[in-house]
Structure 1
């Protein structure tokens, strides 16, 4: 039986661990927190998973919350005009539903399932020296903990990382009591609100520890009016600041948020990081090699909502590569090839995400505006969140955008 160590108990690490476990591998997972600590702690993300990523969970039968979480059928885009109205406002329909499950719920549940099925769960904040010790005792060591000392083992890939500083200041509040949008009240949807020069507000329905909720997620341009959450410790002050910004810049969203309350004392989060692609092989002091997973090696800004989707796709890719490799050695050539297999998908996410962080060129403004009157454009943009590779065909280049609009114009 092949022995595999996975450091990190997030979407990618646990999904991969449960998948390997189902195929008879002896898997150890290292986590710096217990399931109870995760469940009772602070929110960790703004996950919204689209059809392909959800299918990877179904494939290994760990989609435990699919019947409880809101079924998201659409993705809407609004662009604020200077006078407080909406220059753009449309809703794209998803071909397959999306869902958001608070990672405190999902990761705690998956950790418990992994342990119940006989997996070895070690509660320990791993350091590089720990991995140096463990690497000799396992056939393969994977690092799926995207923050802290371990990430420093993986060299930044400058050719694939155009940014070296954070491009957005991130702020999250999980709330109960948000009212429906008056337009399309029958459709659960993710709402993307763009405020030029200020940032973006995303609103998404989710399942949290206390049931149905909504996530209010500001992405503020650094140094701008929405970059005001750093240093706020009080959750209520955090929520008040979130609502103040909504009232000033997005009155249509604020109108349905006047009665919201935080889901719990841990329902807020703020931070920032530089989008970075890293080389996949980390070298240990003793000479061993480890393979980076998901946002350890490809950390995109969350502006396109791809974090948990990419993690799921990475876990599925690595699972297939490990199973196909059989009894052969997991050497550095295999590690690099396995990452490149994932990068074939991830590169489209990185290109699209980095494009959305920059001021939009004229043809992108035209595309977004055309969604007001052309449903095909709205639907195609929405479904690009599931398959970002499609943006290559119509979004990035002005010529392809114009040709597409000519084809679908009424």
Structure 2
């Protein structure tokens, strides 16, 4: 029986540990917090997962909350009209919603990670509550056949060198601020189904609104992404959750009044329902070398950390866990050497590269052909639907998004159909 250590108990680490466990591997999972500490702690993410990523959970029978979580059946895009922050429809230059082929869902990671961790222990997995340092891994690398690092913050990440050729940004491109709330009203124009709402405020930032399942049942997430130094970059140092929510709502009233209209009665789900921070989007070398010469393989956002503007973090984590699981199973009794590690990462990068390219493009001011594409989706429902479904399969953006010629040809073919 092969012994594998997974360090970090997030979406990817837990999914991978549970997947390996189900195939008879002797798995040890290290987490710096207990399940109860995670469940009663602060929110960690916005985690809207689309159909492909959800299917990876279904394949492992880990979709414990699927019947309880809201079914997100659409993805809407609104663009604030330049200089128009008056009440009424004129506030939005663009407003449409695309229908998803398969529904998306968001389950608060406090609920999911705590539940999965307890499941791992109940199934006989070795759960170690300990914050791992590089020195610990040096020792463990001699004890385990494979060490996987999926703890995306702190000292361990420094073992994985930044890949400058795949990381165009060296500084954070957005200041992030999240609030989980109860009491959000429906969008009056589409009250019959749940949708993620992407509100773009040119030159200022973005507001995302999405339904979720949290520790207290159904809720909604209000998520601001502000251009650093701009009017949304005001959450640094705000420690009081009530102040964080009040600031969120004031910014909604100013920049997205159509969303503020349905948020007037909201309240935080709990004292841990806010989150703020920023980080530079970074791709890293997947193989970490320990002082004693041992090697460890980086997982998910340890090696590919994209800005959350495209909502891909949990999706990418799930896809990474699925790719790594398949590589480990296929490898049988072979040595988990550097060649295998790099090939395993490359398998994941085949899908992750599309996420990174798209996310980095969305962080930059949009070129004219992208504005035309987003505008056309308001008149052509197939364009709106395709854009929405590319959140599930970002590789499709290669076909109609990046190059003006491809965008023009695609729009002409839809308009002429």
TM-score bracket relative to the smaller structure: over 0.9
> 1:6-56 CA distances to partner (integer Å, 9 max, x unpaired)?
000000000000000000000000000000000000000010000000000
2:318 pairs with 312, 316, 321, which one? 312
CA–CA distance in structure 1, aligned partners of residues 204 and 250 of structure 2: 14
CA–CA distance in structure 2, aligned partners of residues 23 and 372 of structure 1: 47
Deviation at 1:142, TM superposition (A): 0.2
Q: Which residue of 2 aligns with 1:407?
A: 413
Q: Which residue of 1 aligns with 2:300?
A: 294
Q: Which residue of 1 aligns with 2:57?
A: 57
Q: Which residue of 2 aligns with 1:96?
A: 102
State the secondary structure of the residue aligned to 1:29: strand
For normalisation by structure 2, the TM-score amounts to 0.98
1:75 aligns with 2:75: yes
CA–CA distance in structure 2, aligned partners of residues 86 and 376 of structure 1: 21
Q: How many residues align?
A: 410
Q: CA RMSD in A?
A: 0.4
For normalisation by structure 1, the TM-score amounts to 1.00
Q: Which residue of 2 aligns with 1:43?
A: 43
CA–CA distance in structure 1, aligned partners of residues 236 and 318 of structure 2: 30
After superposing on structure 2, the runs of 4+ consecutive aligned residues of structure 1 that deviate more than 6 Å are: none
Q: Which residue of 2 aligns with 1:272?
A: 278
1:121 aligns with 2:127: yes
CA–CA distance in structure 1, aligned partners of residues 6 and 36 of structure 2: 20
State the secondary structure of the residue aligned to 1:194: strand
1:185 aligns with 2:186: no
Q: Which residue of 2 aligns with 1:151?
A: 157
> 1:361-383 CA distances to partner (integer Å, 9 max, x unpaired)?
00000000011110011001100
Deviation at 1:187, TM superposition (A): 1.0
Counterparts of 1:3-402 in structure 2 under 5 Å?
Answer: 3-81=3-81, 82-84=83-85, 85-402=91-408
CA–CA distance in structure 2, aligned partners of residues 225 and 402 of structure 1: 34
CA–CA distance in structure 2, aligned partners of residues 68 and 353 of structure 1: 30
State the secondary structure of the residue aligned to 2:142: helix
> 1:159-216 CA distances to partner (integer Å, 9 max, x unpaired)?
0000000000000000000000001101100000000111000000000000000000
CA–CA distance in structure 2, aligned partners of residues 37 and 26 of structure 1: 25
Deviation at 1:271, TM superposition (A): 0.1
Deviation at 1:408, TM superposition (A): 0.4
CA–CA distance in structure 2, aligned partners of residues 140 and 64 of structure 1: 28
CA–CA distance in structure 1, aligned partners of residues 289 and 236 of structure 2: 34
State the secondary structure of the residue aligned to 2:276: strand
CA–CA distance in structure 2, aligned partners of residues 115 and 302 of structure 1: 31
State the secondary structure of the residue aligned to 2:153: coil
CA–CA distance in structure 1, aligned partners of residues 354 and 154 of structure 2: 26
State the secondary structure of the residue aligned to 2:212: strand
Q: Which residue of 1 aligns with 2:88?
A: none
CA–CA distance in structure 1, aligned partners of residues 340 and 171 of structure 2: 31
Deviation at 1:147, TM superposition (A): 0.2
> 1:50-82 CA distances to partner (integer Å, 9 max, x unpaired)?
000000000000000000000000000000012
CA–CA distance in structure 1, aligned partners of residues 93 and 386 of structure 2: 20
CA–CA distance in structure 1, aligned partners of residues 208 and 415 of structure 2: 28
CA–CA distance in structure 2, aligned partners of residues 256 and 383 of structure 1: 26
State the secondary structure of the residue aligned to 1:385: coil
Unaligned 5+ segments in structure 1 are none
